[in-house]
Amino acid sequence: MAKPQHSWGLAGPDAPPSPRTMRTLRKIQSHQVLSSSGAVNTSTATTQPSQPPTFTLNPGDSSGNAATRARAHRRPRSNSDAVARETVATSPAPTQRRPARKTGSGVGLKRSMLESLLRDGPQNGKTAESLQELKYLVLSSRVDADGDGMSPYRIYLWLVLLEIPPLSTDDYLALIHRGGSPAYTKIRNDTFRTLATDPLFKRRVTEASLIRLLNAVAWKLHDSKPKPRSRPSSSRRREMEMLVNTPPSIAEEPEIGEQSSVSDSAIYVQGMNVLCAPFLYAARSEVEAFALFHYFVTRECPGYIRGAMDGVHKGLRLVDQCLEIVEPKLAAYLFSKGMHAELYAFPSVLTLCACTPPLPEVLHLWDFLFAYGPHLNILCIVAQLIRMRDTLLESPSPNKILRSFPPLDAKEIIALTVLLAQKVPDDLYAEMVSHAK
């Protein structure tokens, strides 16, 4: 696929490249590496949809006028959104020209290239090329947001990158009106602990909305499970065995496992509440958050929410393997202390690093993961370990340090992850792509 051409503002054909030009060229090279790696490896593990969706700005509206309604209707959800609302209310009409300026929250009135591409949609119907351009812009420029990490268009960016079609609000309400799911008790036991020490999350997202969304997803997962086949009673079974004079069939035994698999632990596992939290925080409605979260746990990481969490355990082994390849000295030291990823990285793998504050940095990191693949979260965890390298090597008890990771710095972690992706062998990268399926 031909990459869109850009003019980078060089003084002339013989002018030496400036540091800014070199940084830009490195970002282009990183974008090409990530895109080509994902395309080569994903083809062996996943199936791409035959027709990518058009850019749509409102997943809760099933009509064709969703983009227009999204621009006309901006429903506030909390005080953390107040500055953004004032910005929207005072913004000039589309026909007026006004110099760009910054508000107190740091969000400019002038559209960024990323927002413009997202709002205007594909040019001349070139959806695939526009998606590649969108991914490049995510890598090269940060999503405009205020100090709380709130952006008026981030949620739509996620919907486009994950190729999620619009969802009718009535479908979500129908799940809510069904009442408590089989996992309702477990959900209620977890939700009050969700990002309990994060004031930004607590101010914007209520526990009630978190319960509703998780309960609705639990109903969807419950409905999608195959129904167990009924077995004859013991007396009837003995009569049948005597009639045919044969021992019980071994093929009947797995039905016991089928019955036990349809349990509340299979439709909700501890940790889903934290994985769900950033979706609710960034969304402008519960329907948007539900569409994203349900798609994510059923298509991107179904292995993370199965009862045995086999996808998470595969991810932990991959953290150890990747660390051993890109930073062998640090890996050997941690292994000598008995510190394998299963002891310290389980929450980071399961929640895509959402367990590590601050929340605005988590959202920025997720922009990158949704653009180039959630499997890169494995390398994001390795990148955090490398940034702690000197501290870990100097500590006689690295387990104390690894009890909680330092605050996220999404920009630095993304830059390091891009470099690490080039060092990982192709076969190991393919395992990363498929480990959560």
pLDDT at residue number 307? 73
Secondary structure of residue 140 in the 3-state scheme: helix
Q: What is the mean pLDDT of the chain?
A: 77
From first CA to last CA, the distance across the chain in angstroms is: 27
C-alpha distances (whole Å) from 71 to each of 58, 65, 66, 164 are: 9, 10, 9, 19
**Is the link from the previous residue into 358 a cis peptide, with omega within 30 of 0?**
yes
Q: How many CB atoms lie within 10 A of CB 322?
A: 27
What is the C-alpha to C-alpha distance for residues 360 and 376, in angstroms, rounded to an integer?
Answer: 19
What is the C-alpha to C-alpha distance for residues 391 and 393, in angstroms, rounded to an integer?
Answer: 6
Main-chain dihedrals φ then ψ at residue 63, nearest 5 degrees: -85, 165
User: For the chain, how many residues are written?
Assistant: 437
126-159: burial string, b at 16+ Cβ within 10 Å, e else: ebebbbbbbbbbbbbebbbbbebbbbbbbbbbbb
Q: For residue range 207-249, what is the model confidence (pLDDT) as tens digits?
A: 999 999 999 999 999 998 877 665 545 555 555 444 444 333 3
- β-pair partners for 35: none
Residue 87 CB burial class (10 angstroms; 0-12, 13-18, ≥19): middle
What is the C-alpha to C-alpha distance for residues 167 and 189, in angstroms, rounded to an integer?
Answer: 29
Which residue has better confidence, 187 or 253?
187
In the predicted structure, residue 435 carries a pLDDT above the cut 70: yes
Q: What is the DSSP letter of 373?
A: -
Which residue has better confidence, 230 or 82?
230
- What confidence tier does 113 reach under pLDDT thresholds 50, 70, 90? confident
The DSSP result for 172-224, as a single string, is HHHHHTT---TTHHHHHHHHTTTTTT-HHHHHH--HHHHHHHHHHHHHHHHHH
Q: DSSP alpha helices (H): ranges in 73-144? A: 82-90, 113-120, 127-140
In the predicted structure, residue 366 carries a pLDDT above the cut 70: yes
In the predicted structure, residue 284 carries a pLDDT above the cut 50: yes
pTM over 0.85: no
Asked if 390 and 412 touch (Cβ cutoff 8 Å), the reply is no
Which residue has better confidence, 35 or 205?
205
Work out the average pLDDT over 182-194.
Answer: 94
Show the domains of the chain with their CATH numbers.
Answer: 302-437 (1.10.472.80)
Secondary structure of residue 301 in the 3-state scheme: coil
pLDDT at residue number 256? 31
16-25, 208-217, 218-227, 351-360: lowest mean pLDDT where? 16-25
What is the C-alpha to C-alpha distance for residues 84 and 310, in angstroms, rounded to an integer?
Answer: 41
pLDDT at residue number 43? 40
pLDDT at residue number 231? 55
Asked if 280 and 238 touch (Cβ cutoff 8 Å), the reply is no
123-127, 134-138, 411-415: lowest mean pLDDT where? 123-127
What is the C-alpha to C-alpha distance for residues 83 and 97, in angstroms, rounded to an integer?
Answer: 22
In the predicted structure, residue 78 carries a pLDDT above the cut 60: no
Asked if 349 and 305 touch (Cβ cutoff 8 Å), the reply is no
Main-chain dihedrals φ then ψ at residue 102, nearest 5 degrees: -105, 140
Element (DSSP H or E) covering residue 385? helix 377-387
Work out the average pLDDT over 368-387.
Answer: 97
- Range with top average pLDDT, 67-81, 92-106, 149-163: 149-163
Main-chain dihedrals φ then ψ at residue 108, nearest 5 degrees: -80, 150
pLDDT at residue number 98? 39
Q: For residue range 140-151, what is the model confidence (pLDDT) as tens digits?
A: 888 999 999 999
What is the C-alpha to C-alpha distance for residues 170 and 175, in angstroms, rounded to an integer?
Answer: 9
